[in-house]
Structure formats: C-alpha cells, structure tokens
C-alpha cells in the first residue's frame, strides 16, 4: 500500500478528524481541518519541508496563510489531541501485550535547538547535557508510554526558563487568560518538576495504565519521587551528590557513604549490593547498586516497589532507552526542529504535536507489520475457533493413521471402522460446539 493510503487509513481508523473537533481545532470556512492537518502530517514522508511542501507549492488547494492559521490558533488544544490519540493507540497495543509484561511511563527532557533564532517567543538559554554547553531553544519535557515493543509519546511541554534573565525573548501575544495558549505559556516558565506531576496525573486519568515510571538522575530527587509515588511506583537512576541524604540505619547519609557501608558481592557480579533506605519526609525505597560497564565504578537505581527483585529493577529500567530512540527519530527523520521556522510559541506547540503523531503512526505501522497478532479483529474472533479446529485436526490425523495401521494388519472391516471413526468425529464436533466438520472426513 502506498504511504499516502496508509496515512489516510490511519486518520480514518483512529477518527482523527472528529478528535480534532473535540480539541477545539476547527475552521469556520475554507479548506477542512483534516485536509490541512493531513498535508502537514505527510511532509517528511514525501521528502519535503514546510517551505517547499506548502509555502511555494502551487498545486495545493489552499494557501500558506491557512496552514499558518491552523498552527497559531490560541484556542486549539494540541496536547489534548496528542493524549487522546495516544490513549487510543495504547488501547490497541495493550490488547497485544502479554499480561505478565510490564508497561511503563518514561520521563526525560531533550533540548529543542533554535540556535539560529533571535526573536522566537519565550526563547531562552538552556543547557545541553550531550554537548556540555548552553544553546538557544527550549527544554522539551516528554512523557512516553512503552511496553518494551512499542513507544508512544503521550504528553510534552516546551519549557523556557523560570529565570527571566535567561529568557532572550518574552511573550507579547495578546490572548485571553482562559485559553490554552495562556496555560501553555504559564507552564513554560516554571520548573520541570512542577510540570511533571501534573503531566503524569493527566496521562493516568486518560485511561493509560502503567506499572512503573522510569526517570533519569536529573529527576530522581526525594521531593519529586515522594510526590509521584502517590500515583505510580518509580524506578530511577540516582545522582551521586553529597547534597542529598537518605535515612540508613537511623542516620542520614549520602549515597556514597551508604555504598561504602554495604557488603558487596565478589567477582564480576552485575549487581553489587542493595539496601532499603527512607527518603526525608517520604516513603521507604530500595537502592540497587550495579556495576558501571563504561568505566570503573558503580551506578545506583532507586525503586519505590520494595517487593520487586533486584534483577527485575535493572531489567525494567532498561526500557528507558525507548525514549532516547524516540528523540533521535523525531529530530533526525521527522524534522522536529528543522521543518518549520515559526516564531510563534503556539505554532511550535502545534508542530511538535504533529511530529509526535507522526511517530505514533510509525509505531502503529511497525506493530501491525511485524506482529502476527494484529491481523485485524479476525484474530480475536477466531482464537477460540482455531483452538477447537486444531483439536479436530489432531483427532482426524490420529484416526486416519489408525485406519492405515488396520489395513496393514489385515483384520479390518472397512464399513465398521468407517462408522466408528465418523461417530467419533461427530461427537468431538458436538463437544467443541461446531455445527459441521469443516470438510474433514476420515478416509478409512
């Protein structure tokens, strides 16, 4: 099937047009919102950017102003659109996931680079951990859901800086303080940890279920873990710092002191030690110390589920890598920061939501093309029937082999044996509830 046909089928199957209307993304006249949305959505899959695909494309039935108006709407709730679509895809993927497999929420941030810009709304200086320097742009705080096979971005926030001195351009756009645009700008100027609790609660309220929340060391602080534990169990990497203390054996100690007091496993054990400590004004948590394969030393993982085995904590935390793959895919292939050069903050939110939806589309296509259990509703309606047919086929083969064996012995009445075998098959069919024998007849 051609890529455009697959995209059209994706839009229809998940009712994106009606979901756009529910989120207040509507037009009074002109080209339909679905048509505009699909055109922007398709750009990277046909090898075009926003300028070549829309601004100077004379073959389109609408002009560039219509596309820009769609992205800049103050009352358009793009993040709700993303969450609703993510919840629907979660329901689809969850039916394909074994009940024993843990599903997780993953939290991380990544720099949204706009280094060549000067007048972008709420542009600020942000720290890039990978390059070790400041750059112009935003911190893209993202929460993804993953079952280990598929990853879905559920919510995000483009964060500026809470320090006004680090913001290079303020917001001057006139808007009603009751609209979505005002709320987005308010969230952009507060700390990431203040947004995190609200985002996780919003995702869980939407019906998305997860067993654990995975975090990197930048977020695994006692106050943040204590707040999030009210909604979901947390597994996170712990930062080695003398400024954070935990209650261990009646004394408050930092992470390095706790590790020095533990008895370590000998040899080349992957898990060196583990213990249970208490957070200040928070719950008891388990600390698991593992060997650092990159260099000589150790790493520490924190888990709020005290009953979870050490090996399972390490294994589940490994799923956090899914969000790193998502960031790389969104930036390098789905044109997150390079496709459009808008200065309007609402347009950045809208475009980021569309890029995340593109990744959802790819995750959906990957799952239905690699997972044999996704061949439509036919699989679910035929599971029980196929089990019954397998039983009948097995019985049919046994009786056929028995007939051949009787022929070799010689003492064989074909009429009597055929009647017996037919009676057995009919009884078996009645037991499994089938009305006919599906064309199987024992050739005695």
pLDDT in tens, 307-361: 999 999 999 999 999 999 999 999 999 989 888 888 999 999 999 999 999 999 9
What does the pLDDT read at residue 149? Answer: 87
Q: What are phi and psi of 100, to 5 degrees?
A: -85, -10
Residue keyed to tokens 């050490």 = 310
- pLDDT tier for residue 439 given thresholds of 50, 70 and 90: very low
Residue 137 near residue 110, CB atoms below 8 Å: no
Pick the more confident residue, 296 or 410.
296
pTM of the model: 0.82
Flag whether pLDDT at 438 surpasses 50: no
- Can you read off the two tokens belonging to residue 126? 């942000």
**Alpha carbon distances (Å) from 48 to 54, 112, 297, 362:** 9, 21, 47, 18
Strand 124-128 relative to strand 133-146, pairing: antiparallel
Flag whether pLDDT at 391 surpasses 80: no
CATH class of segment(s) 78-374: alpha beta
Q: What proportion of the chain, given as a percentage, has pLDDT over 90?
A: 59
* In the chain, where the domains are located: 3-72, 78-374, 382-432
- Can you read off the two tokens belonging to residue 428? 């078996």
Query: Which sign, positive or negative, has the C-alpha torsion 167, 172, 176, 179?
Result: negative
Work out the number of other CB atoms within 10 angstroms of the CB of residue 286.
Answer: 20
Flag whether pLDDT at 399 surpasses 80: no
Nearest to 159 by CA among 167, 150, 151, 149: 167
Distance separating alpha carbons of residues 279 and 286, to the nearest angstrom: 10
Residue 170 near residue 160, CB atoms below 8 Å: no
What does the pLDDT read at residue 335? Answer: 86
Work out the number of other CB atoms within 10 angstroms of the CB of residue 255.
Answer: 22
What does the pLDDT read at residue 128? Answer: 84
What does the pLDDT read at residue 359? Answer: 96
pLDDT mean over 193-210: 94
Distance separating alpha carbons of residues 208 and 89, to the nearest angstrom: 10
What does the pLDDT read at residue 426? Answer: 73
- pLDDT tier for residue 375 given thresholds of 50, 70 and 90: low
pLDDT digits (tens, 9 = 90+) for 231-240: 999 999 999 9
What's the chain's average pLDDT?
86
Comparing 57-71, 148-162, 327-341, 418-432, which segment has the lowest mean pLDDT? 418-432
Pick the more confident residue, 287 or 177.
287
Distance separating alpha carbons of residues 168 and 120, to the nearest angstrom: 9
pLDDT mean over 133-141: 92
What does the pLDDT read at residue 208? Answer: 95
Q: What proportion of the chain, given as a percentage, has pLDDT over 70?
A: 89
What does the pLDDT read at residue 390? Answer: 58
Pick the more confident residue, 418 or 201.
201
Per residue, the 3-state secondary structure of the chain, as one string, reads: CCHHHHHHHHHHHCCHHHHHHHCCCCCCCCCCHHHHHHHHHHHHHHCCCHHHHHHCCCCCCCCHHHHHHHHHCCCCCHHHHHHHHHHHHHHHHHCCCCCCCCCEEEEEEEEEECCCCCCCCCCEEEEECCCCEEEEEEEEEEEEEECCCCEEEEEEEEECCCCHHHECCCCCCCCCCCCHHHHHHHHHCCCHHHHHHHHHHHHHHCCCCCCEEEECCCCCCHHHHHHHCCCCEEEEECCCCCCCCEEECCEEECHHHHHHCCCCCCCCCCEEEEEEEECCCCCEEEEEEEECCCCCCEEEEEECCCCCCHHHHHHHHHHHHHHHHHHHHHHHCCCCCCCCCCCCHHHHHHHHHHHHHHHHHHHHHHHHHHCHHHCCCHHHHHHHHHHHHHHHHHHHHHHHHHHHHHHHHCCCCHHHHHHHHHHHHHHHHHHHCCCCCCCCCCCC
Work out the number of other CB atoms within 10 angstroms of the CB of residue 291.
Answer: 15
Residue 69 near residue 136, CB atoms below 8 Å: no
Residue 107 near residue 196, CB atoms below 8 Å: yes
User: CA dihedral in degrees (194, 197, 198, 200; nearest 10)?
Assistant: 140
Distance separating alpha carbons of residues 232 and 204, to the nearest angstrom: 9
Flag whether pLDDT at 200 surpasses 50: yes
Flag whether pLDDT at 373 surpasses 70: no
Pick the more confident residue, 432 or 434.
432
Query: Which sign, positive or negative, has the C-alpha torsion 73, 75, 78, 84?
Result: negative
pLDDT digits (tens, 9 = 90+) for 75-105: 999 999 999 999 999 999 988 877 788 999 9
What does the pLDDT read at residue 98? Answer: 76
Flag whether pLDDT at 137 surpasses 60: yes
> What b/e readout covers 224-238, taking b as 16+ CB neighbours within 10 angstroms?
bbbbbbebbbbbbbb
**Alpha carbon distances (Å) from 252 to 81, 222, 224, 279:** 46, 13, 19, 9
């Amino acid at each position: 099937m051609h890529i455009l046909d697959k995209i059209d089928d994706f839009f229809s199957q998940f009712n994106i047009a009606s979901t756009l209307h529910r989120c207040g993304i509507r037009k009074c006249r002109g080209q339909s919102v679905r048509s505009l949305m699909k055109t922007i959505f398709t750009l990277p899959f046909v090898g075009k950017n926003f300028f070549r695909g829309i601004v100077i494309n004379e073959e389109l039935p609408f002009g560039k102003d219509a596309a820009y108006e769609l992205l800049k709407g103050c009352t358009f709730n793009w993040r709700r659109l993303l969450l609703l679509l993510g919840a629907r895809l979660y329901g689809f993927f969850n039916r394909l996931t074994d009940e024993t497999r843990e599903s997780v929420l993953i939290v991380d941030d990544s720099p949204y680079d706009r280094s060549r810009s000067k007048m972008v709304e709420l542009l600020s200086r942000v720290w890039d951990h990978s390059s070790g320097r400041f750059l112009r742009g935003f911190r893209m705080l993202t929460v993804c859901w993953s079952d280990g096979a598929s990853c879905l971005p559920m919510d995000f926030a483009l964060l500026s800086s809470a320090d006004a001195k680090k913001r290079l351009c303020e917001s001057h756009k006139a808007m009603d303080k009751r609209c979505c645009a005002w709320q987005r700008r308010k969230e952009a100027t507060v700390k990431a940890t203040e947004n995190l609790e609200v985002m996780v609660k919003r995702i869980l309220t939407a019906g998305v279920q997860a067993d654990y929340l995975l975090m990197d060391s930048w977020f695994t602080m006692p106050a943040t873990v204590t707040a999030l534990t009210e909604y979901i169990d947390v597994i996170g990497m712990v930062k080695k710092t003398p400024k954070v203390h935990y209650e261990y054996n009646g004394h408050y100690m930092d992470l390095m002191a706790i590790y020095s007091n533990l008895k370590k496993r000998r040899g080349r054990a992957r898990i060196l030690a583990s213990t249970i400590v208490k957070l200040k004004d928070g719950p008891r948590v388990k600390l698991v110390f593992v060997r650092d394969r990159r260099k000589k030393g150790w790493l520490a993982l924190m888990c709020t589920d005290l009953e979870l085995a050490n090996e399972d904590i390490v294994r589940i935390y490994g799923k956090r890598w899914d969000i790193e793959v998502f960031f790389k895919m969104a930036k390098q292939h789905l044109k997150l920061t390079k496709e459009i050069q808008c200065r309007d903050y609402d347009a950045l939110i809208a475009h980021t939501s569309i890029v995340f939806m593109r990744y959802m589309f790819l995750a959906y296509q990957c799952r239905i093309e690699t997972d044999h259990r996704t061949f439509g509703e036919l699989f679910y309606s035929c599971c029980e029937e196929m089990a019954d047919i397998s039983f009948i086929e097995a019985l049919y083969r046994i009786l056929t082999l028995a007939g051949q064996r009787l022929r070799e012995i010689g003492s064989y009445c074909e009429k009597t044996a055929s009647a017996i075998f037919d009676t057995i098959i009919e009884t078996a069919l009645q037991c499994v509830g089938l009305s006919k024998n599906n064309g199987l007849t024992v050739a005695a």
